[in-house]
Amino acid sequence: MHTPAHSIEHYIHAKDSNRPDLLRHCFTPDASLEMTVRTATIAFPAQASGRAAIADILVRNFAQTYENVYTLCIGPPPSGHASTHACQWLVGMSVKASGELRIGCGDYLWQFVPGSGLVCHLSITIEDMQVFAAQDLEPVMNWLQSLSYPWCMAQDMVRAAPAVGDLESILKFFKP
């Protein structure tokens, strides 16, 4: 059975690995996307309609600029029959052109079609996105790769965080 957790996992794998085809296992054909960006270090359209448009924005166009993408959903996955799921997220990635590192955080709010587990609406809030030097890539990737993927508990993530740049400004988002 396809579950809401499977839909979210397909989305994470599609975005992080540049595999837009996986979104057919995540979103309904007419799904909608709403984005709120509260930082000047990254830009996205405010909304999109349809799985194809979502794939263009969150996978294809994203992969033209970023690589080494690791996205973590913070907290446990949704239950098998959830109609909605809210969770925080953390992402680490590098910019292809410059090698500089970006680490960001925010919130997901997923809405599922009852009985199908497929996403009919996704709201993404980008609370913060910090820029780090390219030299910080290895310790940050070592950190992200050591964590449970894509579901991770906040305390595990914070406890294992490397001492790089101003990572604390991101980590404070996950502290109670």
Taking residues 119-134, what's their average pLDDT? 96
- Whether domain 4-174 has CATH 3.10.450.50: the reply is yes
Per-residue confidence (pLDDT) for residue 5, from 0 to 100: 97
Domain spans of the chain, in order of start: 4-174
| Residue type present at position 5 | A
Tens digits of residue pLDDT in 10-40: 999 999 999 999 999 999 999 999 999 999 8
Dihedral through CA 53, CA 17, CA 11, CA 162, nearest 10?
A: -120
Per-residue confidence (pLDDT) for residue 1, from 0 to 100: 64
3 state SS of 124: strand
How would you list the strands of the sheet with 151-152, edge to edge?
47-49, 27-37, 119-132, 101-112, 84-95, 66-74, 151-152
Per-residue confidence (pLDDT) for residue 3, from 0 to 100: 95
Q: Is the pLDDT of residue 85 over 80?
A: yes
- What is each CA distance from 111 to 107, 121, 126, 128, in whole angstroms? 13, 5, 18, 23
